[in-house]
Structure 1
Amino acid sequence: MSYQPAFDASIPVLTEVLGDAVEAAPAGSARKVPAPTVDTGERLEQEALRQWSDQDWHVLERRLSERILHQLQGRVDFVLEQRIKDCMAEALQRALADLTGELRKGLQHTIEDIVARAVSQELTHLRTLKK
């Protein structure tokens, strides 16, 4: 049984990248490179190494950088959003626990005051009946 690496369609293969870069090469370039296929991939690499100018390499570098940054930005946004949600959930949970504790203490104090007043009023009422 041979190992088959997982194929991720979102990652461009070299022939796609080189094909895009060749299409974006300066208009004054006299060489014509056919659209990349599985059969022409190696030939494209050899031709690029042999014939491309510094400007062609700079175009390729810029396009690769832009494509990679664009692909990473979506992933970074997702991860950042998840981390923010997690941090916010944790902070809100702590704040809710603190608020619940404060409300509980305040409610306890209020109930104690109400009961004390009610007992005091009831005792006062009973004393007035006794007289």
Structure 2
Amino acid sequence: MSQNPVFDSSIPVLTEVVLEPAPPPQADSPVALAPGEALAPAETPDDAPAQAAPAEPDWNALERRIAERVVAQLQPQLDAVVRNALASAGDQIHIGLRQAVEQIVAQQVAAIEFGQKP
């Protein structure tokens, strides 16, 4: 059984949502030196590790950023769906109200024609 899933190009794929912008260059990036100039060695305490272990990612912040991006990308589509639903509901209310008013007026006219008190 082979199913051919429909691909909607307006819905972002996960890689479009998760990709982070390139981080700014770090302070310890290579620096151009003038001829004859040397870098001074970094001063670190003997008991401190030379390189700190990378921090564990903040999963809550990552989840929040992904959710914000998904909502931002889908918001125009959601707005259109809500707008159409509200327009349809408004039309249905208008039609129902019009029919109710016509029915009440017809009953009142019939009551007056036959000499009944409204």
Decide which structure has greater helix share.
Answer: 1
Q: Using structure 2 for the length normalisation, give the TM-score.
A: 0.49
Q: Using structure 1 for the length normalisation, give the TM-score.
A: 0.45
The answer to which structure, 1 or 2, has the higher relative contact order (CA under 8 A, 6+ apart) is 2
Q: Which has the larger radius of gyration?
A: 1
